[in-house]
Amino acid sequence: MRRLSKNKKGFTLVELVVVLCIIVILASVTALSVSTYIQRAQDAQDSVSDEVNAAKNNISMSESKLASYGF
């Protein structure tokens, strides 16, 4: 029989699986956080677009009112 060397090099399968599980957990948490920030940014962009459209409507209403007064 061969003698097993006490100076083994490399990683065991269990160690690799544990590290892989940790990486997957961290990646999923990161993906959830990023998707939350993306949704918040889209909501903010929609809000700004709504405000810009409201301002444009107010300007055109003001211009038409001024035109009716002859300005």
Does residue 55 surpass a pLDDT of 80?
yes
Residues 18-27 have a mean pLDDT of 97
Q: What DSSP character marks residue 7?
A: S
Does residue 1 surpass a pLDDT of 60?
no
Q: Residue 58: which H helix or E strand, with range?
A: helix 13-68
Confidence of residue 61 (pLDDT cuts 50, 70, 90): very high
Does residue 8 surpass a pLDDT of 80?
no
- Tokens 């959830």 -> residue: 32
* pLDDT for residue 18: 97
Distance CA 65, CA 47 (A): 27
For the record, the structure tokens of 53 come out as 């459209």
